[in-house]
Structure 1
Amino acid sequence: MIPRPICNCIINLRRIHMFFIRSTGYHSITSLDSCRKPGPLDLRNHKDWLSPTEVIKIFQTLKDPNSTLNVLDQLSNRKDYKPNEALYTSVINNLSKVKKFDGIEQVMKRIKREKACRLSDGFFYNVIRIYGLGAGRINRVIETLFDMPSYSCWPTEKTFNFVLNLLVNTRNFDVIHEVYMSAGRLGVEIDACCLNIMIKGLCKNGDVDGALQVFDEMPKQGCKPNVRTFSALMHGLCEADNVEYAVSLLGKMETEGIEPDTILINILISGLRKKGQVEESIKLFDTMLLKGCEPVSSSYQEVLYALLDSRKYTEAVELTRKMSSKNMVPSFNSYKLIISGLCEEKRVGDVGSVLKQMVEDGFVPKLAMWKQMLECVLSEKTTVDKLALKINNICY
Structure 2
Amino acid sequence: MIPRTLAPVVVPLKPITSTRFLLFSLSQFSTTPNRDTAILARLKHKDWLTPKEATTLLTSLTHPSSTLTFFHLYTSRKDFHPSEPLCTTLISKLAQAHQLNPILTLHQTLTKRRRFSDDFFYTLIKAYAHSFQRVDMALQTLHDMNSLFHCSPSTRTFNFVLNVLVNTRLYAAARELFLHAPPLGVSPDACTLNIVIKGLCARGEMDAAFGVLEEFHELGCEANARTYATLMKGLCEKGRVEEAFGLLEKMEEEGVETDVAVYNVLIGGLRKVGRVDEGWRVLEGMVGRGVCPNEGTYNEVLCGLVEKGRVEEGKGVVERMGNKGFVPSFGAYKDLVKGFCEKGLVGEVEWVVWDMAWKGFVPKMGMWRRIVKCVVDRERSDGWVVGAIDGVLED
1:331-389 Cα deviation digits (max 9, x unpaired): 4554554465456667x5xx63563364145266724224325545779xxxxxxxxxx
Matches within 5 A, 1:63-212: 64-68=66-70, 70-75=72-77, 77-78=78-79, 82-115=81-114, 118-149=115-146, 150-212=148-210
1:89-109 Cα deviation digits (max 9, x unpaired): 244345434444233233223
Which residue, 193, 211, 216 being the options, matches 1:218?
216
Q: Is the 8 A contact 1:307 1:316 kept in 2?
A: yes
Q: Is the 8 A contact 1:208 1:240 kept in 2?
A: no
SS in 2 for 1:184: helix
Q: Which moved more, 1:281-290 or 1:249-258?
A: 281-290
Give the C-alpha shift of residue 238 in structure 1: 1.3
* Shift in alpha-carbon separation, 1:279–1:58, aligned structure 2, 3 A: closer
1:84-134 Cα deviation digits (max 9, x unpaired): 21233244345434444233233223222433xx31110000110111111
1:168-211 Cα deviation digits (max 9, x unpaired): 11111121012112211222111101100111111112222221
Give the C-alpha shift of residue 313 in structure 1: 4.1
SS in 1 for 2:138: helix
Q: Is the 8 A contact 2:239 2:272 kept in 1?
A: no
CA distance in 2, matches of 1:72, 1:275: 61
Q: Is the 8 A contact 1:43 1:74 kept in 2?
A: no
* Shift in alpha-carbon separation, 1:353–1:122, aligned structure 2, 3 A: same
Q: Counterpart of 1:46? A: 46
* Shift in alpha-carbon separation, 1:42–1:70, aligned structure 2, 3 A: farther
CA distance in 1, matches of 2:337, 2:187: 56
Q: Counterpart of 2:6? A: none
Give the C-alpha shift of residue 137 in structure 1: 1.4
Give the C-alpha shift of residue 41 in structure 1: 6.4
**1:50 maps to amino acid:** L
TM-score by length of 1: 0.74
Q: Is the 8 A contact 1:343 1:376 kept in 2?
A: no
CA distance in 1, matches of 2:210, 2:249: 16
Matched, 1:265 2:263: yes
Q: Counterpart of 1:316? A: 314
* Shift in alpha-carbon separation, 1:110–1:339, aligned structure 2, 3 A: closer
Q: Counterpart of 2:227? A: 229
SS in 1 for 2:184: coil
1:9-66 Cα deviation digits (max 9, x unpaired): xxxxxxxxxxxxxxxxxxxxxxxxxxxx99x96968513x433322334544677433
1:209-236 Cα deviation digits (max 9, x unpaired): 2211111221111111101101111111
CA distance in 2, matches of 1:94, 1:240: 44
Q: Counterpart of 1:383? A: none
* Shift in alpha-carbon separation, 1:73–1:305, aligned structure 2, 3 A: closer
**1:111 maps to amino acid:** L
- Work out the percentage of aligned pairs sharing the same amino acid: 36
Larger-gyration structure (1/2): 1
1:224-269 Cα deviation digits (max 9, x unpaired): 1101101111111111222221121110111122232222211111
**2:134 maps to amino acid:** R
Q: Counterpart of 1:280? A: 278
* Shift in alpha-carbon separation, 1:332–1:194, aligned structure 2, 3 A: closer
Q: Counterpart of 2:55? A: 56
Q: Is the 8 A contact 2:67 2:93 kept in 1?
A: yes
**1:130 maps to amino acid:** A
CA distance in 1, matches of 2:111, 2:311: 67
Which residue, 240, 243, 261 being the options, matches 1:242?
240
Q: Counterpart of 1:372? A: 374
Q: Which moved more, 1:274-283 or 1:85-94?
A: 85-94
Give the C-alpha shift of residue 308 in structure 1: 2.9
* Shift in alpha-carbon separation, 1:235–1:371, aligned structure 2, 3 A: same
Q: Which moved more, 1:329-338 or 1:236-245?
A: 329-338
TM-score by length of 2: 0.74
Q: Is the 8 A contact 1:65 1:97 kept in 2?
A: no
CA distance in 1, matches of 2:51, 2:338: 69
Q: Counterpart of 1:328? A: 326
* Shift in alpha-carbon separation, 1:366–1:87, aligned structure 2, 3 A: closer
* Shift in alpha-carbon separation, 1:326–1:88, aligned structure 2, 3 A: closer
Q: Counterpart of 1:356? A: 351
